[in-house]
Structure 1
Amino acid sequence: MHKFTHGDLTVDFTVLSGEVVGSDKMSETHITSTGGNGQVNSLGQPVALQINTVLVVNHEFWIKTADGIEHDIHLRGLDIPLRSGQDISLISAVSNDGKTVLHTHLQNQTSAKTYQIRDGKALNTELELSPFRWKPLLIAFVLWVGIGFVSGVLGFLVGAGYYIYQCVKGSKRKKLLITALDSFLAQLNQRVESQYHAPQPAQAQAPDQPEVQAPTQPAAVTSINVRKALSRNG
C-alpha cells in the first residue's frame, strides 16, 4: 500500500503485479441519429439525417500474482494490447471507504510500455477530493444580509467579493492538489518500474566439501594368520 498525503488529505494506492493468464475483449456499439423526420433548420431548409456510431471496448483480463491467486480486472473504453504470459503491474487508487478502486496506470514490463488510464485531474473528480464548499457561500449570504440592513448595495458588494475571493482560493488549492497527485503518480510509476528491473540477489552456494575417506580397517586376526606367522619365524 502506498499513501499519498496532501495537507489533511490522504489517498491509498495499490500495485498489483503478476503474469497475464487470460485476456478477452468485447465491443459495444451505440448508434444515435440526428435530423431527418421532416426537421428543418432556422432557414426553413430540411435537416439531413446523420447517423453517429460509437464503439466502446470492454476489456477483461486476469493477473496471476506470485501467491498463485488470479485477479479479474475490468477496463471499459480502453483498448490496451495484452497477451498471456506478459508481466504487468496495475496501479490503482482506493477510496476512503474501500468500495471504489480506480486504475491509474498499467505497466507492461514485457513490452516496456506504460499506459495511463487516469491522471490527477480525473482522480480528483471521481474521488471527490475537492468537493463544493457550502461554508463560503453561507458566509457571503450572511454578510450580504447583515450589511444590507445598512446599505443594500454595500452588502451585496461585500458578500460577492468575499465569495469570489474564496472561489479563487479554492481554485488554486484544487490546482495544487492535482499537480501533487500527478507528481506522486509519476514517482510511483518510476518506483514500480525500478523494482521490476532491479537485479535479483544471487543465491549463496555452499562451498564444495572435500570427500572424507573412511580409514582402512586392519585385517582381522585369525588362527590361520597366526600359524603362518609362526611358521615364517620358525
Structure 2
Amino acid sequence: MDSQKHTQSHIYSEGGGGYVGPRGGRIKAPTVKSYNTTRHDIFLRLADGREEHVHFPLDGIALRNGNAISLIAAFRGDSPNGHYVRLCNHDTGTIYNVLDDTAWQAMTAPNPTDLASLKEIKTGYSFLLPLAIWLVISLLTIAIGYYLYGQLPGSRELITKVCLYAILSLPLFFVAALLMVHGKSKQRRAARQGINSRLADELNEKIAAAIAALG
C-alpha cells in the first residue's frame, strides 16, 4: 500500500579534555563523528484484507504502491518470536535480504545441545596435565636422589644437580601447559565456528526452500 524511507543523522564526540595549571597546560579538542541510520516503513494489505506495518533498517528495497510481495520469517525451535529474513517482490522478481547481522547471529547461535559438545573440549585439564607430570617427576627424582645420596657418597654432587634440574624444569612444563591450553582453545573456536557454519547452512537451505515454495 505504501513505502516510506527515513534517514536520521547522529552526531557524537569522542575524546577531548586536558588540564590547565600555573605552569601551563594542555587542551585537546574532541573528535566529532557522525553516522546515518535508515528506517524503511512498509504498509501492506494481507490476503484476508487486514493491514499490517513492518519496518527494516535498510534503504535498498525497491517497492511501489500496488506491488505484490511476500515476507518470509524464520523462528528458532518453538519460539513465538522470529525475524523476517527475505522480502520477495513478485512483480519485479527481486528477492531482498532483510535480516541484519545482529539478528543473523542470534538465529545461528549454538543451542544448549551444541554448547554441550563444546564442553567436551576441556582446556583446564590441558593446563594441569603437564604440571602434574612435572610434580610426579620432581617428587620421584627427589625421592630417588635422597636414597642414593646416602648410598653413593661419591655421587652426591651429581645427584644434587639432577634434583635441582628436575625442580628447575618447571618453566618448561609451564610453557608446555600454555601451548596445550592454546591448542585446546583453538580447537574450541574451530568447533564453534563449525557449528555456526552448519546452522547458517541449515537456515539458508530452509530459506531457499521457502522461496521455492512461493513459485
Query: What root-mean-square deviation, in Å, do the aligned CA atoms of Structure 1 and Structure 2 show?
Result: 3.6
Give yes or no for the alignment of 1:161 onto 2:183: yes
Deviations 1:126-150 (A, max 9, x none): 225237947256x211332244222
C-alpha distance in structure 2 between counterparts of 1:78 and 1:94, whole Å = 24
Distance (Å, rounded) in 2 between the aligned partners of 1:127 and 1:98: 11
Structure 1 position 98 matched with structure 2 position 79: yes
Which shows bigger deviation, 60-69 or 172-181? 172-181
TM-superposition CA deviations, 1:13-71 (whole Å, max 9, x none) = xxxxxxxx233332211134679999xxxxxxxx9998654332212222222222222
Counterpart contact for 2:108–2:200, Cα < 8 Å: no
| TM value normalised by structure 1 | 0.55
What are the ranges of 5 or more consecutive residues in structure 2 without an aligned counterpart?
19-27, 135-172
More helix as a share of residues = 2
Using the size of structure 2 for normalisation, the TM-score is 0.59
- Residue of structure 1 in register with 2:69 after alignment: 88
Given the superposition, is the C-alpha separation of residues 177 and 95 from structure 1 closer, same or farther in structure 2, using an over 3 Å criterion? closer
Q: Deviations over 1:128-177 (max 9, x none)?
A: 5237947256x211332244222344444444433333332332333233
Percent of residue pairs bearing the same amino acid type = 21
**CA separation of 1:31 and 1:160: change in aligned 2, threshold 3 A:** closer
Contact 2:7 2:38 (C-alpha < 8 Å) held by counterparts: yes
The runs of 5 or more residues in structure 1 that have no matched partner are: 1-20, 39-46, 195-234
What is the distance in 1 between the residues matched to 2:178 and 2:205?
A: 41
| Aligned-partner Cα distance in 2 for 1:174–1:62 | 34
User: Within 2, Cα distance between the matches of 1:186 and 1:161?
Assistant: 37
1:59 has 2:34 as partner: no
Are 2:41 and 2:54, in contact at CA under 8 Å, matched by a contact in 1?
Answer: yes
Contact in 1 for aligned 2:3/2:40 (Cα 8 Å): yes
- 2:5–2:59 contact (8 Å) kept in structure 1: no
Residue 95 (structure 1) shift:
3.7
Distance (Å, rounded) in 2 between the aligned partners of 1:112 and 1:158: 53
Cα distance change of structure 1 residues 35 and 172 upon mapping to structure 2, 3 Å threshold: closer
Do 2:4 and 2:40's aligned partners in 1 also have CA atoms closer than 8 Å? Answer: yes
User: CA, structure 1 residues 68+172, in 2 after alignment: closer, same or farther (shift >3 Å)?
Assistant: same
Q: Does 1:143 align with 2:143?
A: no
For these two proteins, the number of residue pairs brought into alignment is 166
Letter in 1 for 2:119: K
Q: In 1, distance between residues paired with 2:180 and 2:103?
A: 35
Indicate conservation of the 8 Å contact 1:124/1:130, yes or no: no
Q: 2:193 is matched with which residue?
A: 171
Query: 1:106: Cα distance to partner?
Result: 0.7
Render the CA deviation track for 1:185-206: whole Å, top value 9, x for unaligned: 23322222x1xxxxxxxxxxxx
Which residue does the alignment assign to 2:55? Answer: 74
| Cross-structure match for 1:129 | 109
d(CA) in 2 for partners of 1:29 and 1:170?
Answer: 37
